[in-house]
Every structure is written in structure tokens, then in C-alpha cells.
Structure 1
Amino acid sequence: MCTVAISNSPVFSPSSHISSSIFCKSSPESSTLNLSPSSSPSSSFKLRFNKTLHPVSGLFKTCNEDGQSTSTSPTLLKRKRPTRLNIPVASLSVSVDRSTPRMAEDRWKEVVEEGEGYSVYCKRGKREAMEDRFKACVDFNGQNKQGFFGVFDGHGGSKAAEYAAENLESKIKEEVQKRGESEIVEAVKQGYLNADSEFLKQEQRGGACCVTAIINSGNLVVSNAGDCRAVVCNGGVAEALTSDHRPSRQDEKQRIESLGGYVDSSRGIHRVLGSLAVSRGIGDRSMKQWITAEPETKLFKIVPEFEFLIMASDGLWDKVSNQEAVDVARPFCGSMDKLEVISACKKLVELSASRGSVDDTSVMIVQLGSFC
């Protein structure tokens, strides 16, 4: 299996194969968006419920990796690069290791990823470097259709989002192998905390909000830490499967204050210690006493009315409501045509930008029918 890594020296490198776990088996397809951080200064830190959801307990298996990116010869560096990076999913050998020449990171303005059952579109905002990342793992070779998906929104740099995209899935796998599928909620929680602990040891700056989804045999496990969000289209009605972790939430404010911190508000934005506009996430070393990486996790049974799942960074949700997102995407998601679904992702990003968003925006749509 291979990991797509796009950085100052983008590479395609093999990832270690885990034979027994909750996500994938051996003929893998997986991709990770991994753009290295820029040395430039970072920017500031930052339901509708008309139908009944169907919680379940217990689940899963393992993940695989497969990805491909455009490569370029050294001579192309003399010419102006195109603004769009298109990474189609193709059949790569598990031993593939490709690299492309070094390139200024601010050239990556758009990223497109299309795989079996999912599509992703990322667009850089006003920053000099993209701080969003994503992870997608699927396996259609066994009887059980399964997958791991994640969107990671970095702040104060991209290192934490990059680390989460590369490592969170494997940390959760390890915990499920230890505990068993019946303890999936605790396994996901510990996976997040372990990833956070390992990242903090690197003494890197910045942090990342995370939203992840695990799908297996018609079951769905959704987790988040921060303000990345997952919304399901339930027969045309938008239902948020996650709740944003922001210091404006009363329970989050009380938690922070009980730990000796404080929340203040300026121009309508609540911030932890006057600095950070989210209250959970991976990283944020200097504020770790108050910014926990512990996720909230919910389990659901995928019913026929669950048409598709939208996972996105706050670059979308700050400008587009849950129902609007579903209404825009739904006409494109009625078939399994990847081009149609990627068009839905793009439409959502464009809508957010048209309303004034200057943030990096990443939108992933998972066709839930592909996994039933």
C-alpha cells in the first residue's frame, strides 16, 4: 500500500501493512493528503433533526493504501505551474516509491482526490500554504466493505494536521486490536489521545481539528475533536453527526474554567485564553492543559435513507449551513459517477468562497451506498 505525500519534496512512499485490524485487507487503496508546512508566519487561530438516527455497537476490520499523483520533470520547474493538483486514484504496486522535484508549496492551490466511494476537493485560502489535510482508506476486495476517512484542519501551521492524516488511523487500529470491536468508542478515544501524545513529543508548533468516520458492514462510527464537522444526508434532510468543539459551548467553557483557564469574547468570537477559537484538537502544546484531544464519538447503523456523508473543515461550515450543503450536493450524488460527486465538492467550496471565506476549505463526500 502507498501513502500520497505532497510536500516540498513530494513523494509516494509505501506504508506498513497491518494484516489484522478493523479497516482494510491486502489489496489496498488509500491516500493521504500531506503537504509540508510553509515557513511563513501562520494566520490567526482560529440541524436540523427531523429523522431518527440508528445507533449501534460493535464493528470492523482493516485498511489499504493506493494513490497516484501527477509528477513533473525538472525542466517543468522553469515554467509556471498550473494552479490545480489532480490526484486520481490508480492501481499502484505496494512497493511503489515515486518522487517529484522540489517545488514552492504555495503552488498547491487546489487538490482533487477521487476514489471508490468518496471524493475530496481542497482549496487553499489566503494563506501562503495549505494547512488542511485528509485521509481516505477503502477496501472492496473482501466481503465486508469498509473504510476510514478523515479531514484535518491545521492552525498555527500544518504539522499537526499532517501528523494526524498520516498516523491517526493506525493509532486507532492498534487500540481496536488490543480491545476488540465491542469497545470501538474507547478505542477511537485512545487512538486520538495516543496520536496527540506522540505529536507533542515532537515539540512541533500548532494544532489540528479532526473529524473521522469508520465504515464497516453497514455500520458508521463518527468522531471529532474541534470544529471539523460531519453531516449526513438522511433522505434529503441534513443531520449533523458531530458537535463543534468551540469555547462558546457552555459545557466546553465550564470544562476550561474548571481547569483554571478562561474564555473571552472579541467581535463575537470566543477564544480560549484570548487566543484559540477551538477547544479540542491534536497538538497546541502550549495550551494542552485546556485543549484536549479527546474526541466525541457516535455509532450509527447505515440505513437506506443515509445517502451520503459530508465531512469538511470549518472553511465550509462557517459560511454554509448543514441543510444548504446537503441541498447543493444531493443533485450530484444520485449516481456513482465520480465526476458528479467531485463537482458537488467543488460547488460547496465555491459557495463558501462566494460568501467571503478566506480560509482553507476541504470537503469530502462519502457515498454511503458504496459500503452497504
Structure 2
Amino acid sequence: MRLCSTLISSPLPAPKSREEDINNVAAESSTCLSIYKYGGAPAVFRSPNCPLWNLQNRRSFSSPASRCHTAAIQGRRKYQEDRLLCALDLRIPFPGKKTGTPKDVLVGIAAVFDGHSGSEASEMASQLLLDYFALHIYFLLDATFSKELTGKLPNSLMHLYDLDSQRFQDSLPLNFHLDILKEALLRAIYDIDATFTKEASTRKLDSGSTATIALIADGQLLVASIGDSKALLCSERYETPEEAKATLIELYRERKRNQDSSPSRFSDLKLEHRTGLMRFIAKELTKDHHPDREDEILRVKAAGGYVTKWAGVPRVNGQLAVSRSIGDLTYRSYGVISAPEVMDWQPLVANDSYLVVSSDGIFEKLEVQDACDRLWEVKNQTSFGAGVPSYCSISLADCLVNTAFEKGSMDNMAAVVVPLKSNLDWES
């Protein structure tokens, strides 16, 4: 069974017919799989033997603004080096668990890339992610399920995938599609870094980038992160009167620290804390890869690097503020790596309201809970949000980046905010 249905984000050009698509892909699949085996996505896209995989044929993709809020501002920096991506309607055909009949799985992807020492790394990562992700999904599925190719593929190719095609012909593991999506994402990240490394070596580029990427599929969420861009969930929760009192005290202290704190927010909470309170609670899904983190500093030192503070920030060899990144070739021999840290698939629950993916510029002046508090104010602006600024009416992402800017953040800022309750199609 050949699975070559079009992926919405795929660089495959729109065929004249489905039959033509199948015939064209079948004609080049064997050659391209061999190329893929030895060189991954970059080799396939470069090869003249794989004309259907051509970056010049990339289709533009955007999600409706109501489903995916995005914003990026240069802030007080001289250049804008942050990039972002949000695509929530990727329909990927996976075999059914019982019959093997293809069934579309709706996949969402939200990502932020925070560049430094130039925008080349963040720009390339944002441009290649969907293409590489789509290609890896295609070849993982094609090699696993194609009866025509099963007998022709060398065992080493199947070992590369760590998949046994015969085992999956009759039955599928429960989370097979999630395993494929995770593997495709990790391979895409690896190939993006390899592609940029080659480009940076040729052009003598010093730039690097963080990468924080969230996948949503089948009512579940996965996050892969490199560097210090963040992903977090804002989830609705009822606070008991005691918890609400503690919240009120913290907001009072915040009001004393920040003269621009919303007075209506404080007054309304003061009135309602006696009977408990509904609010968003922040759950951080990533861990910053800063050089002073215990496991990170051990790797840097083992590689011959050192960590020291400059301008109050721990840095590899006194320069680089992250210990994992895409690019940054100068620091590769000192323990800086591009391997992502992964929060594996976890189910989204009914009270999970917003997914936020953002660069660290937002959190120069905000805590993660502050971001969720701001989103709660916007959601309930008929009461709590009387003091919500006008820019919050543009989009939720604009609300976050401009709130951080007004509080004095000096960095570039980029944010993707996904309203989870309005994207119910992801649920199984």
C-alpha cells in the first residue's frame, strides 16, 4: 500500500490528478529513498533525481488569524532576528489501525526561532521546517507501508527507521502515528542544523538560533526545544478562597512594584477572592538551555569550554548565552549542541486554554504566569480587562509582545498563541 497522498505543507506541486501523482511518485521513490537514506532531507531536495521534492515548488501556508495568533517586533534592538511559524491545518494520511485504509490526521505546528549574531540561522530554520518535516513523514511512511518497495529495501534502510515494515502490515501500535510525527520532527531539526552548518561554513557565518517547536495531533501535545525560547500552557483552574487570597497578595505586591498594573484587575480580584476564583495557571513546557544549568555546564566543561558571566548573564566562553542552538559553529567544539530536549506526547485536557510559544525577549520583564494572567484579562475583559491596552485587541500574540515591550524588554520578541478550545478538530 503506497501512501503518497498530498501533505498540505508538502513542497509537492499540485498534480493534474491523483493518479498522476501516484505514478510520478512511484517512478522516483526507489531512487529517492536511497538518496534519503544516505543524506536525509537536504540530499533529496538537492537531487535532480527527485524533481517532485523541490523547494522552489513550496506552497505558501497560513492558518486563519482566529486560530493562530502571531506577532513579532524588533523592540529596542538594532535588527530583528526572531522568526516564527504557525500552521494548524496539516492533514497527513496515516493508515487506519485496523483496516490500513488511510485516514487524515490533523496536525498543528507552532514554532519560534530566536536568532543571534545575525538572522541567517533563524531565517533558514523557519523556511525549511515544514518542508523537511513533510519529507520525513512521507519517507518514513512510504518505506514502512509500501508493499511494492518492501522486498527491495535493504535491511539497513529499515534499521535506519527502526521500523519493521512487515510487522505493521497487519496491525499498528496504538500511537504509531504519534511516533512517526515525533521522529519526523527530530530528523527535520537535525537536517536543518546540518544544512545551516554547511551554509555557515561556506559563507563564514557566525549566527545561531534557538528553536522551540510544538506539535499538536490527536488531542495531544509534544514540544521540542533548543536554547531558551519557551513553550507554556495556560490552563483554567479554580482557586480556593485560601489560594485566591495568596494570589491577591501577590498582585498587591506587583501593583506596588509596577505602577502600570491594572487597577481594575486588582479591585475585581479583591471583591471575588472570598468565594474563590477562576484564573489561568501557567505550566512551562520547556527548560532553558543556559550554560549554568548543571547538566549543561558539565558538557561544556567536558568539551574544553568554560562558563563565565558577562553583563550578569552566564555565557559559554564568556560569549554565547545558550548552551544548545542551531548554528553557532564557533562553539561546537566547546560543548554547544543542537540536540533538542523533548517533552514527549501528553494529552491536552478540557481546561487547557492557550498554548504559547515565544522567544525569551518576552520574559525579560514578564514571568510565565504574567503571560497567562494577561491572557486571562483579555478573555474576561468585560470585568477584569477594563484596563487592557488597545493593542490586545489586535491579537493575543500582539498583546504579549507589546506588554513585554511596555515593561521595558530590550530584546526582539516573537510569540505564537494558539487558542486550544477553538481548535477542537485536533481531538481524536
Q: TM-score range by the shorter chain?
A: 0.5 to 0.7
- For 1:360 and 1:302, how far apart are their aligned partners in 2? 30
The partner residue of 1:202 within 199, 202, 210 is: 199
Aligned twin of 1:288: 332
The partner residue of 2:412 within 334, 355, 360 is 360
SS at match of 2:323: coil
Offset from partner CA, 1:170-211 (integer Å, 9 cap, x none): 323333442463254444333212110111111233001111
Aligned equivalents of 1:164 and 1:253: distance in 2? 26
Identity of aligned residues (%): 30
- In the other structure, the counterpart of 1:159 is 120
Distance change (3 Å), C-alpha of 1:352 and 1:327: same
Higher deviation after alignment, 134-143 or 122-131:
134-143
* Structure 2: segments with no counterpart, 5+ residues: 15-57, 93-103, 141-160, 162-175, 237-279, 382-390
Larger Rg: 2
Calculate the TM-score normalised by the size of structure 2: 0.58
The alignment status of 1:331 with 2:377, answered yes or no, reads yes
- The number of aligned residues is 273
Aligned partner (choices 185, 190, 213) of residue 187 of structure 2: 190
CA change 1:364–1:240 in 2 (3 A) is same
What is the alpha-carbon distance in structure 1 between the residues aligned to residue 213 and residue 284 of structure 2? Answer: 13
2:295 to 217, 239, 251: 251
Q: Is the partner of 1:157 in helix, strand or coil?
A: coil
Equivalent residue number for residue 322 of structure 2: 278
Picking from 298, 307, 317, the partner of 1:263 is: 307
Q: Which amino acid aligns with 1:248?
A: D
Matches within 5 A, 1:128-143: 128-139=78-89
Q: Does 1:321 align with 2:316?
A: no
Q: Which is richer in helix?
A: 2
Instruction: Work out whether 1:233 is the aligned partner of 2:234.
Output: yes
Deviates more, 1:346-355 or 1:319-328: 346-355
- C-alpha deviation, 1:326, in angstroms: 0.3
Q: Which amino acid aligns with 2:119?
A: S
| TM-score relative to the length of structure 1 | 0.66
- Distance in 1 separating the partners of 2:318 and 2:224: 27
Alpha-carbon offset, residue 168 of structure 1: 2.1
CA contact (8 A) 1:333 1:344 kept: no
Per-residue deviation, residues 72-102 of structure 1 (Å, max 9, x unmatched)? xxxxxxxxxxxxxxxxx6xxxxxxxxxxxxx
**2:222–2:346: 8 Å Cα contact kept in structure 1?**
yes
For residues 13 and 281 of structure 2, the distance between their equivalents in structure 1, rounded to whole angstroms, comes to: 35
For the 8 Å contact 1:23–1:147, the answer to whether it is kept is no
SS at match of 2:361: helix
Report the Cα distance in structure 2 between the residues aligned to 1:340 and 1:145, rounded to whole angstroms: 29
Question: What does 1:105-116 correspond to in 2, within 5 Å?
Answer: 115-116=65-66
Q: Which amino acid aligns with 1:365?
A: V
Partner of 2:286: 242
Matched residues in 1 for 2:372 and 2:9: separation?
A: 27
Cα distance per residue 1:299-347 (max 9 Å; x no partner): 2111111111111101102211111100101233579xxx967443223
Q: Is the 8 A contact 1:23 1:146 kept in 2?
A: no
2:307–2:316 CA contact under 8 A, matched in 1: yes
| Alpha-carbon separation, structure 2, partners of 1:229 and 1:344 | 16
* Residues 226 and 244, structure 1, Cα contact 8 Å, conserved in 2: yes
Amino acid at match of 1:306: D
**Aligned match for 2:357, one of 302, 308, 311:** 311
When residues 323 and 297 of structure 1 are mapped into structure 2, their CA distance, relative to the original with a 3 A threshold, is same
Moved more, 128-137 or 178-187: 178-187
Distance, in Å, in 2 between the alignment partners of 1:175 and 1:341 is: 38
Instruction: Give me the whole-angstrom Cα distance separating, in 2, the residues matched to 1:139 and 1:275.
Output: 40
Question: CA 1:22 to 1:334, structure 2 compared with 1: closer, same or farther past 3 Å?
Answer: farther
Kept in 2, the 8 Å contact 1:64–1:137? The answer is: no
Deviation per CA, 1:28-72: give whole Å up to 9, x if none: 9xxxxxxxxxxxxxxxxxxxxxxxxxxxxxxxxxx97435xxxxx
2:69/2:396 contact within 8 Å kept? no
Segment drifting more, 139-148 vs 216-225:
139-148
How far has the Cα of 1:276 moved from its partner? 0.3
Conserved? CA contact 2:90–2:108, under 8 Å: no
Greater percentage in strand? 1
Shift in Å, 1:266: 3.0
Question: How has the CA–CA distance of structure 1 residues 141 and 25 changed in structure 2, closer, same or farther, with 3 Å as cutoff?
Answer: farther
